[in-house]
Amino acid sequence: MVSQQNRLKGVRAFFTIMIYFVCGFISWYASAQPNTINSDTNSNLNTDTDIKSSADSKFVIIPSSEDHRSLVNNKLFLSTPDNTITTAQQALTAFNDGEFIENTANRVSFGFTEEVLWAVLPIQADTTTDGGLSSVIEIDNAWLDVVDIFFISGNEIVRQESLGDTEAISGRTYNARMPSVSHVFAPGNTYVLFRFISQDPMTIPIYLCSEKSKQSVMLENAYFYGFLYGALLILLVYNLVLYTYLRERRYLLYSCYLLAFTAFNFTYTGHGYWWLWGEMPSVQQWLMPTLMLCYITAGVTFTIEFLNVKKYLPSLFAKRKFIYAGLLALAVVMLAYGSQQFAIMAQLVILTTLSLWMLLIGVMCYKNGNVLAAFFVPAILLGTGGATVSSLATWGVVPYSQWAFRGIELGMLLEMSLLSVSLGFNFKEVYKARLSAEFTSRIDPLTNLYNRRAFTQLVYPIWELGVRKKQRMSIVLIDLDWFKQINDEFGHDAGDGVLELVAKTIKARVRSSDLVFRWGGEEFLLFLPDTSVSDAKALAETLRSSVKEVTSESITTVTTSIGVAAFSAQESGDTKIERLIKVADEALYVAKQKGRNCVVVG
């Protein structure tokens, strides 16, 4: 047991170090991000190698440097919400007629909308270069259904790309997780026309960057998500190991909670579509709401089990079936209604409500004495805080930034790390309780001596070693004389008091290496390692006289009959301890026959 505990401590320490390392990396990553959002009165980036505003502030100038990247939403012109545009040519005409609105507010998020959003980005290639300049346009959002991009030069569409997740990934000309396209911009003005449709929240962070910057960002993202998924996987495996060891459902359900979030995140960040099911757009369309529902369900079941709601909030536990029935009803309505947008909106509302519900349950369980709730409440606050920031950025309530957009991931990583610490604390408490239970199961509660169950665990190893090394060992079996009369005359409480007194007397007169057991009702057994028969008999005589002397000052004088048996080096190596106990028992019987209050050696 101890070695298993030490191994698990080592595993927990390793996982804790990994978690801190991941958090440190994320802090570095966040601080290393370039400042991509600037006011209209400043250039978009600070050096000569960055994209700059032209004299005509409507255009974005592409510099000739190989290292530039900027969020260019503040240079977009957006269609009005009530527009009737259906084709790219109509959009171009409307833009030329001044019907598009300049995005001076630098909006990135537009919430849920069924409208088709058209946008125009005027770009001007650096006129000091010969030929064209190559740049990459990236829409830093993987869940948009339709992303059509038209490159217009001289009022003609010279190129068109379709990059939304309703299109197979193989149709993209640029291999990236986020919808991206590389284009060589001819000297002069080029207008890039965008068409966006999404049943998910309409969030369109548009970046203009060089190929080198694009690859650098992709590498940083690979590191970020590699560490994120690596940390989540470590926590998942760690808790599965704890479940295998402890067989507590909370560890299994926490693993399911981790898995559900990881799968959900893997889908909505576009990794699944990029790597696995890119040729099946319909899978991508419905996996997000499906996995979100799985995540919500896993969160509910984990909360109920983790906080031991059955003990601390029994009224809520009795109603848990209604909660599960509600989630099942939501799944049925999703399928029946058939609207992806409805499914996601409904689940976002439920997810927000669930976060508040988890906090409330945690606080109530803490008030009712659940120690683990002290970890649970701040953990959920971290996760909820991160998710709230991401949701507000997605809905356009707070300004967009990559930090805000990834709030849910950072918050959930911190939440799950803290929950793992709490489960590690729970493991420690469970282990201590097990040790206490094991110890208690071997102790007689009245006399505080070892009981008969402990005999096999404690004596057998010493006996086997002693037999192998031909060491002397003895058994002393003690029985209180006329003990039944004491119970009948003075009552069982008085009898218990006598047993306690006799046990203390025996314990005070034996060596620390001797093992004392309450063998039966009024019987005591002593196992004496490295003790000859003569020494065992002498100890038995001492105990007999001591018990008589000590009890003479109590309700009545108690005498004892004692049987002694010993194993000597001359005996066979296959001698069993049961034979020695039988010999001692027979000697005890003889002592009773001789009139009691004596010691007999078998």
pLDDT of residue 8: 47
pLDDT of residue 439: 67
pLDDT of residue 33: 39
Query: Using one digit for the tens of pLDDT, what is the confidence trace for 100-117?
Result: 999 998 899 888 888 899
Q: Token pair for residue 343?
A: 């499914």
The answer to whether 601 and 588 have CB atoms below 8 angstroms apart is no
| List of residues 6+ apart from 41 with CB closer than 8 A | none
Angstrom distance (rounded) from CA 197 to CA 147: 7
* Single-letter amino acid code for the residue at 529: P
User: Residue 345's pLDDT band (boundaries 50, 70, 90)?
Assistant: confident
Q: Which residue has the higher pLDDT, 544 or 438?
A: 544
Quote the strand ranges of 241-388, DSSP E: none
Angstrom distance (rounded) from CA 257 to CA 247: 17
In whole angstroms, how large is the CA radius of gyration of the chain?
39
Sign for the CA dihedral angle at 283, 288, 291, 297 comes to: negative
Q: Token pair for residue 374?
A: 């002290």
pLDDT of residue 188: 84
User: Residue 42's pLDDT band (boundaries 50, 70, 90)?
Assistant: very low
Angstrom distance (rounded) from CA 207 to CA 323: 43
Give SS3 for 189: strand
What is the overall mean pLDDT for the chain? 83
Angstrom distance (rounded) from CA 47 to CA 44: 9
What is the average pLDDT across 467-486? 88
Strands 206-209 and 156-162: unpaired
Distance of CA 105 to the CA centre of its chain: 40
Q: What is the pTM of this model?
A: 0.65
Q: In the block, which residue shows the tokens 């998924």?
A: 229
| List of residues 6+ apart from 43 with CB closer than 8 A | 50, 51, 52, 53
Residue 553 has pLDDT above 90, yes or no: no
Give SS3 for 564: strand
Residue 491 has pLDDT above 90, yes or no: no
Would you call 147 exposed, middle or buried from its count of C-beta atoms within 10 A (0-12, 13-18, 19+)? buried
Angstrom distance (rounded) from CA 562 to CA 543: 9
Q: Which residue has the higher pLDDT, 344 or 324?
A: 324
Q: Which residue has the higher pLDDT, 95 or 56?
A: 95
Strands 515-518 and 206-209: unpaired
Angstrom distance (rounded) from CA 479 to CA 506: 12
Top mean-pLDDT range of 8-12, 37-41, 170-174: 170-174
DSSP code at position 116: P
Shared fold status for 40-209 and 452-601: no
Element (H, E) at 474: strand 473-480
The secondary structure of 117-186 as a DSSP string is EEEEEEEEE-TTSSS-EEEEEEE--S--SEEEEEEEETTEEEEEEE-STTS-GGG-SS--SS-EEEEEEP
Residue 508 has pLDDT above 70, yes or no: yes
**Helix/strand/coil (H, E, C) string of 14-82?**
HHHHHHHHHHHHHHHHHHHCCCCCCCCCCCCCCCCCCCEECCCCCCEEECCCCCCEEECHHHCEECCCC
pLDDT of residue 52: 37
pLDDT of residue 34: 38
Q: Token pair for residue 267?
A: 């889908």
Query: Using one digit for the tens of pLDDT, what is the confidence trace for 402-442?
Result: 778 888 888 888 888 888 777 777 666 666 766 666 666 78
User: Residue 586's pLDDT band (boundaries 50, 70, 90)?
Assistant: very high
| List of residues 6+ apart from 591 with CB closer than 8 A | 561, 562, 563, 598, 599, 600
pLDDT of residue 525: 93
CA 314, 317, 322, 323: dihedral to nearest 10 degrees?
130
* Single-letter amino acid code for the residue at 160: Q
Q: Is 155 left (phi over 0), alpha (psi -120 to 50) or beta?
A: left
Q: Token pair for residue 528?
A: 């004496």
What is the average pLDDT across 447-452? 87
pLDDT of residue 490: 86
Q: Which residue has the higher pLDDT, 7 or 582?
A: 582
Which runs of consecutive H residues, i.e. helices, occur in 526-594? 533-551, 577-593
Asked if CATH classification 2.60.40.2380 holds for the domain at 40-209, the reply, yes or no, is yes
Residue 573 has pLDDT above 80, yes or no: no
What is the average pLDDT across 23-35? 41
DSSP code at position 400: -
Residue 140 has pLDDT above 90, yes or no: yes
Strands 515-518 and 523-529: antiparallel
Residue 365 has pLDDT above 70, yes or no: yes
CATH pick for 452-601 out of 3.40.50.300, 3.30.70.270, 3.40.50.2300, 3.30.420.40: 3.30.70.270
Residue 342 has pLDDT above 90, yes or no: no
160 has which bridge partners? 150
Q: Can you give the residue ranges of every domain in the chain?
A: 2-31+217-429, 40-209, 452-601
